[in-house]
């Protein structure tokens, strides 16, 4: 894949679509790449969450958190571990490659660097995360109402 392809994939990923080309170029050059074969473990449940992953090619299967649920499949441009871009924690699930796949790992340190060097991007990230948080609170409120009935 060339630089333009990498930038296009990142631009389609949640949270990165509003970044300008220079910010995306910085991410492309500074992020780690990892190639996975079919069945390779990207991370296990309980592993340290020290960055997010953008799927550059292939598919990553995220195991369900509860036994009855279906696995989630993340394809090209999917962002896995959005919160881990900003804070360290632990992985809540397991992720494995389904077929050959490639991911780009973006650490909190790299994300902080991008946001410091591109202040407009920082404001967009803040706005996006604020909207996500409002949506989450609304969803939790709906669940609370259902549980009270």
How many folded domains does the chain comprise?
1
Could you report the per-residue pLDDT of 97-122, keeping only the tens digit for each?
999 999 999 999 999 999 899 888 87
Q: What is the pTM of this model?
A: 0.85
Q: For the domain that residue 94 is a member of, what is the CATH number?
A: 2.60.120.10
Which domain does 79 fall in, by range? Answer: 3-148
Mean pLDDT of all residues in 77-98? 94
Task: List the beta strands (DSSP E) in 13-137.
Answer: 32-36, 41-43, 48-49, 52-62, 72-74, 79-80, 89-90, 95-106
């Amino acid at each position: 894949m060339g630089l333009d392809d990498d930038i296009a994939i990142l631009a389609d990923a949640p949270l990165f679509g509003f970044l300008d080309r220079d910010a995306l170029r910085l991410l492309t050059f500074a992020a780690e790449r990892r190639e996975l074969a079919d069945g390779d473990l990207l991370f296990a449940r309980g592993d340290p969450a020290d960055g997010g992953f953008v799927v550059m090619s292939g598919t990553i299967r995220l195991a369900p958190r509860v036994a009855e649920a279906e696995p989630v499949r993340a394809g090209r441009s999917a962002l896995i571990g959005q919160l881990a871009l900003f804070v360290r924690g632990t992985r809540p699930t397991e992720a494995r490659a389904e077929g050959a796949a490639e991911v780009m790992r973006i650490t909190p340190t790299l994300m902080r660097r991008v946001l410091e060097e591109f202040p407009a991007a920082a404001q967009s990230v803040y706005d996006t995360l604020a909207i996500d948080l409002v949506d989450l609170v609304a969803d939790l409120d709906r669940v609370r109402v259902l549980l009270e009935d």
